[in-house]
Structure 1
Amino acid sequence: MNDYLERLPFRLGDVLVRDGAEEAWLAGATVFEEDAPVAVLFRAPASGRDCAVYVRVVAPFESVWLGPCKKERGIFEPPSSLEETGVLYRRTRRLPLHASPIKGSELVFDIDGTVLLAEYRGPVVERLVRISRGDDVWLFEGQVMGPGSYDRFPGR
C-alpha cells in the first residue's frame, strides 16, 4: 500500500525552493485515501508560517504549492464555487476520504479521520483545496507547481 510514496515527486524531509526565493521544508504529511491513496498534503513550515504542498497521486497528477492554512467553522458540504482573495474557484472534485499521517510523520494541521476533500480550479494555475470534517473547514489556496518552477533538495 505504500508504493504510492515511491511515485511522489517529493519525500518527507525534502526542501523545496520555488522561483529561487520561497523555501519550504516538508516536515509532515497526511495521506487521503479511500481504497487506495488519492492525495498527500505536506506541511511545510516556512519563515514562521505554515504553508503546504498538495500532491494528487491519481490521474490527472498535479502538485500545488499552497499558502498558509485558513481554518474556519463552516458547512461540511463544499459549495460548487468559492471566492477567496478576489479569485473565483470552481469545484472540480468532491471526494469522501479517510485522512491519516503517513508513516514517520506527525498529524498535519489536525486533519485526520473521515473528511470531505474538494479540489477547486481558478484561472490558469490557481488552485484551492478545501477539507471539511464536521463543521471544521481547512482552506488552502495556491498555484500549480509546473516543471522548472521549483528546485528539490532531498532530505533524509
Structure 2
Amino acid sequence: MPAFRTAAALGAVLAAGPIAVLDAPPAYASGTPAAGVYRLTGTSRLPGQAITLTELSLTGNADDSLQNRQIHWGDGASESLGDGSRATHRYRVPGAYRVTIWLTDMDGDSMGTFPAGDTVTVLRVRKRPGTRVGCPAATPSGARPVSSRSPGSSR
C-alpha cells in the first residue's frame, strides 16, 4: 500500500471511489488442510537411545498442496520429514520432551496427532551403591572371572 505524504494526496485517492477489501483464501487453496497421524516407537528411553517417528496416515492431500512436515523433537532440535514417512532422533539429556509435527499446506496449517502419546521421557541413569560400572577384565584364556560374593561380604 502506498504511503501518502499529504492530506491532498489521500483525499484524491478517496475521491476516486470505494475501496473493496476481500478476505479470500490463497489462490491455490482448494480444500481442507492435510492431516497426519503419527506414532513414536516408545515414550521411554535412556540417554542416547534412538526413537523413531513413523507416519501412519496422511489425509486431505489429494490436491498435492502439502508443502512441508516439520518435526519438533522438544529438545530444540527440528527437522523436515519431507517425502519420507520416518525420522529418528536421539535425546542426550534426561527429561520429558513433547514431540510435535506441523503440516504446512496451501489449504491451511495443521498439527499432526499422536494417538499413543507425544511425550518422550528420557530416564536418568543412576548407579546403585555397591555395584561396579563396566565389565571385569578377561583372563588370558578369554574367560571372565566370576564371583559368588555379594557386595559388602568379607570373603
Q: TM-score, with normalisation over the residues of structure 1?
A: 0.23
Q: Which has the higher strand share?
A: 1
Larger radius of gyration: 2
TM-score in terms of structure 2 length = 0.23
